[in-house]
Structure 1
């Protein structure tokens, strides 16, 4: 946008507004979106795990969509695909570090896409870490509650869905050339 006599209102002397940081008000809205997504997704994860343990313990599989989607309770001591079951404490400490890093980067959020992506990532990591902290056999060694079962795929939970969706959204933001602070690379502007 330009004012009288060609002076730019939003960018540098060339009229580019690609690297202008969003105003503080906009940043506050993005942080609120980040926090809202994180808290909502985390709550959904915790509630569904409590319900899964309550309703599915010692019960046969519950078919939701025929053989395509079933509820099947599993307690997973490892990481994705039940790998590394002997390293539960290490996964717990890595998750704590990941939470710190996500919150650190969240201070710079300048776009709704990044706010939703990092909010979902925080919720997913926090949801599975909560299981590792509070479930049997004890702190840092607790087993993660998984209960969604697809054919030929490991059993998973809401936190896992949040992490996967967050990863996809992060890839979309990177492809679009949107930086964490909401600015864009000049060469990436043509793809928007």
Structure 2
């Protein structure tokens, strides 16, 4: 479980430091747009009050707290599940990335009332209007890692059996 905790801490810190540097130090909140490697990588300021792609973003305080509670419940469930199943280090890192990314977005909702987003990527003549953050990357990578690296529950006995 130490591997999961360390991976979660690394993901959380990278997410929060990147948001602080880009949004506050580089003042993206003020200038709204920085072309880094256009069109592939751009910084665009975004306030996400919902989930992915702005879904469920009615902006109400109730939805904010529901999303916070849901993220915390998912994080706790992943930690409990990881303790009950024999996972290799790579799967534990994936679980940690998912937890750390989710908690990074939870902290944003607690501090700002919304999730700070700043990454925008487009390519090949397609203009992508969506923004995301590194927490989202960690959540996605962690989920993919768990799908591909977690043992098949039908073939692996639970710990303690």
Fold similarity call, TM over 0.5: yes
Q: State the TM-score bracket (shorter-chain normalisation).
A: 0.7 to 0.9
1:161 maps to: 137
* Cα offset, 1:50, TM superposition: 1.4
The TM-score, its normalising length taken from structure 2, stands at 0.81
CA contact (8 A) 1:52 1:73 kept: no
1:149 maps to: 120
User: Which stretches in structure 2 are left out of the alignment for 5+ residues?
Assistant: 123-127, 157-161
* Cα offset, 1:113, TM superposition: 2.3
Q: Distance in 1 between matches of 2:22 and 2:105?
A: 14
Q: Mapping of 1:128-139 within 5 angstroms?
A: 128-135=105-112
Higher normalized contact order (CA 8 Å, seq sep 6+, divided by chain length):
2
The TM-score, its normalising length taken from structure 1, stands at 0.69
* Cα offset, 1:157, TM superposition: 0.3
Paired positions, count: 144
Structure with greater Cα Rg = 1
- Secondary structure in structure 1 of the residue aligned to 2:30: coil
Dislocated runs of 4+, deviation >6 Å:
none
Q: Distance in 1 between matches of 2:74 and 2:53?
A: 19
* 82-91 or 102-111, which deviates more: 102-111
Aligned-CA RMSD value: 1.9
Q: Distance in 2 between matches of 1:107 and 1:172?
A: 18
User: Which stretches in structure 1 are left out of the alignment for 5+ residues?
Assistant: 1-30, 136-141, 187-192
2:4 maps to: 34
2:100 maps to: 123
Q: Give CA deviations for 1:71-120 in whole Å, capped at 9, x if unaligned.
A: 11111111100111122222111112112212222323531122011001
Q: Distance in 1 between matches of 2:4 and 2:136?
A: 18
Q: Distance in 2 between matches of 1:143 and 1:172?
A: 31
